[in-house]
Every structure is written in structure tokens, then in C-alpha cells.
A and B are shown apart, each in its own frame.
Chain A
Amino acid sequence: MSAEPLRRRRRGRLPFSPWHLVLVPVTLVFVVPLLWLLVSSFMSNAQINRFPPTIIPDSLHIEGYRYVVRNALFPRWFLNSAIVSLAVVVGNLIFGVLAGYAFARMRFRGSRLLLAVMLGTLIIPFQITMIPTFLIMKKLALIDTLGAVIVPSLVTPFAVFLFRQFFLNLPREIEEAAWIDGCSRLRTLWSVVVPMARPALSTVAVLTFLTTWNDLAWPLIAINNDHNYTLQLGLATFQGQHRTQWSAVMAGNLIAVVPVLVAFLAAQRTFIQSLTSSAVKG
């Protein structure tokens, strides 16, 4: 080995790792469609109908946003989705903690069988339950209300199981000390166990929010009146009816995407950890 090729290599060396030359184009594949969503939502319909499109528009327009807020029910749908997501997240936290705690710490007849059956429901596919669930919601007079979207997801086997696993790994001694001090079961659960369960609570909250906010199939079946649409259902319908008004469609689309993006970027670590832990262990 002479020194010559070594020196040449050093001279031709990039100021950064050569992997960036691969990583940048690969990453662009994932980012460009989302950037195009952002850019086109600020275009006028005239700009959008131009072919080939101008990649960087010469002027910004908010006519899409104006249309979506004034002439469509987007604000209402946004509110509906927020209500539904909040109710479902809170429901899963409360009922999931209660059931998960009972399964982890209390003895009662049939608890094992009950837990097994609950977990078994995880593999029942949605298309099997959707028709009878529709009929049940109709009987309860909930069809066409937000209640029909909230109730079936109010507590999921996923939340129950996740909390149970978490509580099983907590040391019992702290709770026992609280009982000896005269705390009731519920009191112990609320003021001793729940504060320790932060990681599990955030995992359930984040994943439940994502699936609820993004769901389309069930709201599509459960809701007819456009005042009660969720944001995803509203967006899908709006796009079907306004094929010529792409600037409004893209503005609406951006509004539907931003909350999950913000939630994801804010809680990225929790997000990815909870996804991978359920994958790698499950």
C-alpha cells in the first residue's frame, strides 16, 4: 500500500458522509407529496389547473381555506372529530385502567376466561361486526349521532391488555402500604397507581387518538347527516362532490392532517416506542 491512493482519496473526500447522497433522495420520496399538499393548498384554482404545474407558485392564495371555512362544514367536522377523539381517549384511559387493574391485581371467579375472551376479540375483523353493530346502534337510537362513533371504541381490548401488563410489572408493596394506611381500593388506584402509570397512559392516549382521528369506515356507516360527519368522512365526501375545486379540497386535507402531525411530532418518542414495543413483544 503506497501513500498515493490514500492521499487522493482524502483530497476527493466529501465534507459530509456519502450516505447523505442516498438518504436525501430516498427521504424526498416520502416528503414531496406532503410538501405538495402544503403548497397546493395555498394555490388558486387557476394556478392548480395549469399544466404543467408551477412548482413554486408566484403568489399565495387563501381562497381554498376561505371556501372551506365559509361554504363547507369543515369547522363543524373538525369540532366533531375533536369531541369524538377526546371522548374515546378519555374512555379508554378510565375504563382501560379500571379493567386492567382488576385483571392485574384482584382475584375474582372467571377472570382468566374473561381476559382470554376479551383478547380473543382482538382478532375479530371489523367487517364481521360492522353490520350488527350498526343494528345495535340503531336500536339504541345512536345512529346518526356522534354517540354511534364514540360508543363502540369507548374501551378497546388493546387498552385493557396494555394497562394489565403495565400494572403486573409494578411493585405491589407501594399499594399495600397505602391500604394499610386506610386508603380504599379506588383511592389507592387513583392517587398511587395511576400517577405511576404515566408511560402506559400516554401510550394508550397517543395510539387511541391516532386511530380514532383517522378512522373513516365506521363513521361512514354510522353517520348520514352531514352536520355530524367526522373530519375524515367530511373530507372524503367533500372531495367526491368538489372535483373541480382542488384548492378547497387541498385546504381541507391539510386541516385534516395537521392535528395528527402535530401530535406525532410532539410525542414522537412515545409514539414510536409504543408501536415497536407492541410489535416486537406481541
Chain B
Amino acid sequence: MRRLSEAGTAWAYVFPACLIILGLGILPMIWSFILSLQVSDLITPPEWIGFKNYEVISRDPHFRAAVGHTLVYTALFVPLVIAAGLGLALLLNRRIRLIGLYRTLVFVPFVVSATAQGVLFSFIFESHFGLANAVLRWFSIPPQGFFTDEHQALYLLVLIGLWSGVGFCVVVFLAALQDIQEELVEAAALDGAGRWATFRYVVWPALQPVTIFLLVWQTLQALQVFDLVFVTTRGGPLESTTVVVFFVWQQAFQQFNAGYAAAAAYVLAFVLLVLSIGVRFARRRDT
């Protein structure tokens, strides 16, 4: 009797979380796959077409361009954000006056929303009167088009991503650095290890788990970049910043090709899944 009532209570406690997490997580995931096998505009009844959406998408030049932009963004952003994060963390890992203030200020952009960042940097990189062109003029560099130049817009997005994203890497690296026992570093120094050798053989191995975590985390984030693109360029100029999630959003909610959009989303999700499962396995084998 007691047992039964405990199970009943437990289910009552778990029910709201179940309903929302499964109902708006698992159910949409399956539904989305079904959608990807259909032609659907979200209003009229859908029509079954099997895997045709996937076939068309593999040959769609717009989708291929979106994949290309996403890969360029990710390939630039991830190594840079981690390298900069590590460099800054090493720089900030010392006991001097005002160090807390420096750490806080480096991290602050991380809490600023992608929308606010996008609006702010659209203003700073405004091609006619923006602050960025004023600074360039000061160095006698001719004014740049920035977001209006299709050869610059994507790289500018990487730069903004770095400005706001590096703070997260810094705090994670700092936490890991502070976990390294000081005796270990001192012992290495006593044994005659120089700065570089100490870093290479004592500090770096200790940082490896968090580096892998950051690598995966930042890659997943970069492959799914959307908000910043929506606010700054809406995929332009000349589709030069159309990334995959923006393509999915456009297809689903602007062009009303929901089935096609779902197929594109599944292609990306498949990559993300393989990536996160692959890393988990690789990590398990290590430990």
C-alpha cells in the first residue's frame, strides 16, 4: 500500500516535467521527421513524397551555399574563440590588483543578448558614419562597406561572435587553471622547467578535458548560429551570410516549405548528433 502511494506521488511530481519535456521535445522530433517526408505549407493537408526532399536538398545550390557559410563560420570561430579564451585566461590567472575587475569586464559581453549585440554592431559598423570607419580613417585606411560588403559580412559575424563568446571560454579555463595544484607548478619550476615546458607538460594536460568540452560546445553553438545573423544581415548581402538555421527558418516561416525545411533541419541535426555522440565515445575511451 505504502509502495503504491509512493509511486503515485512520484508520478504526480514528475508529470508536468514529462508532459512538457517529452511533449515538446520527443514528439516534435518524430513529427519533424514525418514532415520531412512530406510537402507541407503548414496549412493545407500535406502530401507524402518519401525521401524526395532530401534528394532535392542535396542538389539545392542555396542549401549548399548555406552549409558552406556555416562551415566557414564554424572553422574560423571555434579555434579562434578557444585560443583567445586560453590566452586571456592565462593572462588573467595572476594575483594583482584589480584582477577581479578585468575578469568581470572580459566576461560581460557574454550576457548581452545576440539581438543587442547585433543592433550595437550594426551601428558601430554602419558604413557611412559608424565608429569603425572613423577609427579606420584615423589610421588613414579607406572606409569599408562592412555588413553591406558580401566579402566582409560573414567575417564580421565571426568577430562579433568572438567578442561575446570568448568570456565563456575564459571563465571555464580560469576555473580549470585554479584547480591545478600550485605545488605541481612549483615542483616543475624547481626541476628546472622553463615557462614553456611547465605549460606544455603540467598545465596543458590538466586543461585537456575542459578544452574538449569547449571545442564540442562551441562547435555545436557555431553550427546553429541564427539570432546574430537575423538581426545584422538577414542572410545578406547577396546571401553571403545565409547559414543553415537561417535557411531552415526562411524555408519554414517565410516560404512556407515546412517539409523541405524539416529535411534541411534533419541534415544539420544528424551532423550535430554524430558529433556529440562521437565525442562522448572518444572521451569515454580516454578515461
Which of B120, B131, B261, B272 is close to A253, meaning CB atoms less than 8 Å apart? B120
Assess the B13–A127 pair: CB atoms within 8 A.
no
Residues of chain A with a CB closer than 8 A to B253's CB: 134, 221
Residues of chain B with a CB closer than 8 A to A95's CB: 16-17, 20
Which residues of A are interface residues toward B (Cβ below 8 A)?
16-17, 19-20, 22-23, 26-27, 29-31, 33-34, 36-37, 40, 48-53, 95-96, 98-99, 101-103, 106-109, 111, 114, 117-118, 121, 123-136, 151-152, 154-157, 160, 185-186, 210, 213-217, 220-221, 232-233, 235-236, 239, 246, 249-250, 253, 256-257, 260-261, 263-265, 268, 271-272, 275-276, 279-280, 282
Docked Cα-Cα span, A220 to B115, in Å, equals: 12
Summarize A's interface: helix, strand, loop or mixed: helix
Assess the A16–B97 pair: CB atoms within 8 A.
yes
Docked Cα-Cα span, A220 to B224, in Å, equals: 16
Assess the B231–A124 pair: CB atoms within 8 A.
no
Docked Cα-Cα span, A185 to B8, in Å, equals: 12
Assess the A132–B28 pair: CB atoms within 8 A.
yes
With A34-B112, A51-B134, A214-B113 known, 19 other A-B pairs at CB within 8 A are A30-B106, A33-B121, A36-B120, A37-B120, A51-B128, A51-B133, A98-B13, A102-B9, A108-B6, A118-B21, A124-B269, A127-B249, A131-B252, A133-B24, A135-B31, A151-B24, A217-B227, A272-B171, A279-B172
Which of B102, B115, B122 is close to A216, meaning CB atoms less than 8 Å apart? B115
Assess the A129–B28 pair: CB atoms within 8 A.
yes
Residues B1-60 near A (CB distance < 8 A): 6-7, 9-11, 13-14, 16-18, 20-29, 31-32, 35, 42
Assess the A51–B129 pair: CB atoms within 8 A.
yes
Residues of chain B with a CB closer than 8 A to A186's CB: 9
Nearest B residue to A239, CB-CB: B119
Residues of chain B with a CB closer than 8 A to A34's CB: 108-109, 112, 120
Assess the A126–B109 pair: CB atoms within 8 A.
no
Docked Cα-Cα span, A55 to B107, in Å, equals: 24
Any A CB within 8 A of the CB of B184? no
| B82 → chain A closest CB, angstroms | 13
Docked Cα-Cα span, A274 to B31, in Å, equals: 34
Any A CB within 8 A of the CB of B118? yes
User: Given A27-B102, A106-B13, A124-B25, are A19 and B96 neighbors across the interface (CB < 8 Å)?
Assistant: yes
Docked Cα-Cα span, A220 to B226, in Å, equals: 12
Assess the B231–A216 pair: CB atoms within 8 A.
yes
User: Given A50-B129, A221-B253, are A280 and B210 neighbors across the interface (CB < 8 Å)?
Assistant: yes
| B110 → chain A closest CB, angstroms | 9
Docked Cα-Cα span, A23 to B102, in Å, equals: 7
Residues of chain B with a CB closer than 8 A to A121's CB: 21-22, 25-26, 29
Q: Please, how many residues of chain B have a CB less than 8 angstroms from a CB on the other chain?
A: 94
Any A CB within 8 A of the CB of B155? no
| B167 → chain A closest CB, angstroms | 7
| A221 → chain B closest CB, angstroms | 6
Assess the B163–A33 pair: CB atoms within 8 A.
yes
Nearest A residue to B164, CB-CB: A30
| A262 → chain B closest CB, angstroms | 10
Which of A20, A99, A256 is close to B116, meaning CB atoms less than 8 Å apart? A256
Assess the B268–A127 pair: CB atoms within 8 A.
yes
| B137 → chain A closest CB, angstroms | 6
Any A CB within 8 A of the CB of B88? yes
- Quick one: which of B18, B113, B224, B226 has the most chain A CB within 10 A? B113
Residues of chain A with a CB closer than 8 A to B174's CB: 276
Residues of chain A with a CB closer than 8 A to B268's CB: 125, 127
User: Given A34-B109, A232-B115, are A108 and B7 neighbors across the interface (CB < 8 Å)?
Assistant: yes
Any A CB within 8 A of the CB of B258? yes
User: Given A99-B16, A101-B13, are A213 and B168 neighbors across the interface (CB < 8 Å)?
Assistant: no
Residues of chain B with a CB closer than 8 A to A152's CB: 20, 24
Any A CB within 8 A of the CB of B176? yes
Nearest A residue to B213, CB-CB: A279
Assess the B231–A272 pair: CB atoms within 8 A.
no
Any A CB within 8 A of the CB of B63? no
Assess the B105–A30 pair: CB atoms within 8 A.
yes
